Chain A
């Protein structure tokens, strides 16, 4: 089967090799040499990796809590018969097709020190809080997180909307006859019926958060200092700027196993819940 061949060769084989290389000292000058867990120990001492790790975790946490909730809310709203439904849907989804590269360019300009955003703040009389949003240690990464929401919310809302539409309408009708309404209806019918979709969306958010790369790469290159590093960016820089291949592989393995563990835990939790309901 050709599918198996391509998949195995360009997907599984490199992954398994990665695990081996992560235990070696390997750079552009020297061939791989086995050094045990040294790479992993060094990871813990590297400021870029540390910042990358905590930033990535912040991103994931924010995504799971805020993005997930807002997306679900938006999907419920978009499922209602608004007069301008088509326009609403199109404009909320449109950001999805715009590449992260172009997103970075747009927002990089908007959030410039002399950009539109600060301009509006000045006109509103909020001069005291204007700053270089992407060039300040305290604000650079929170800004990047917020920027991901521009695309992220719409993307998750689409999937939720699909989930909402696959819930048969007669269940609601039956419940309304029983006298349930409003939020009770949402809590007792919509949410349980939507559990599969919730797990899909959460999975996408977590994986997407863990591989956040383009925005910090283009907008800040991890700076100022190491304040907006993400794990993926740290891996990329270690491998392709500093040519520490073995070390970078170790970091990427940590990242990969993180994703795998999250995925498995999540599958467990959600599949259990589905059975209970």
Chain B
């Protein structure tokens, strides 16, 4: 289907226009973070100098690095914990064919359908009972619990492409089960890990609802609620610092995205073929 023919210039121009339309809000975000106060609310004036006071204010008024640290802690903690437990369970579930394991697999997959919304309040109670309320550890556990179904599914799908002989010969050479998994199987499952990380890191980083509900100590806050609180405190004054803070919080993800977007598509293609 014209796979090799180049499409006409007119269509290309239209697509470019569309792309620019999509990019416009991003440019606007950047622009607003460096626009001087005098012209801040005049939508048609472009900033003519690099005005960095907002960034200074963002660093001074908000503990940006603390928020960044908290976000990193929760995001990476959740991903690492998910990968640790789901890679093992996915592998085991793909290898075992007894009825019990098939039911366990279905039980875990049902988590893909049941939404977290339904359990927010009992979750709140559970967190109090476990004395995990208002801790970042709780967020790590919740992120892991929510990520496990998808990750287990991915790992078990990829496990099926690893030949069993590999495990048998390693076992003959006297390799223990855990070592066998972490030294031999886990590296081979790297594509699954990559796919999972690339497709989940954005949602984890940008999560707003969970920290909003389960954290209230400002020193533990992640970036997203931090921005909203900052905005609420600044209502009547210039929103410049809020934009600056937003740019700072988005920047790491944009950089990551630009470097990994090729793999993102590849991972999805692989996932869809295997699944």
Contacts and interface: CB of A to CB of B under 8 A. Distances in A.
Interface of A: 1-4, 6-7, 9-15, 17-18, 21, 77, 80-84, 87-103, 105-107, 109-110, 114-116, 119, 150, 154, 158-159, 161-163, 165-166, 169, 172, 176, 181-182, 185-186, 190, 196-197, 200, 207, 210-211, 213-214, 218, 232, 235-236, 239-240, 245, 248-249, 252-253, 255-257, 259-260, 263-264
Contacts of B7: 80-82
- Which of under 10, 10 to 19, 20 to 34, or 35 or more describes the interface residues of B? 35 or more
B4 interface: yes
A158 B111 CA distance: 24
Given A15-B118, A17-B125, A92-B18, 7 more contacts: A3-B86, A11-B111, A18-B121, A81-B3, A98-B29, A154-B22, A196-B272
A94 B228 contact: no
B121 A101 contact: no
B31 to A, nearest CB: 10
Contact of A21 (B22, B121, B261): B121
A105 B41 contact: no
Top 5 nearest A-B pairs by Cβ distance? A256-B118, A14-B119, A99-B206, A162-B268, A10-B145
Contact of A92 (B2, B19, B205): B19
Nearest to A184: B1
Interface stretch (B62-70, B160-168, B178-186, B243-251): B243-251
B250 A1 contact: no
Interface of B: 1-7, 11-12, 15-16, 18-20, 22-23, 25-26, 28-29, 32, 41, 43-44, 81, 84-86, 88-89, 92, 104, 108, 111, 113-123, 125-126, 141-142, 144-146, 148-149, 152, 202, 205-206, 208-209, 213, 224, 227-228, 231, 239, 242-243, 246, 249-250, 253-254, 256-258, 261, 264-265, 268-269, 271-273, 275
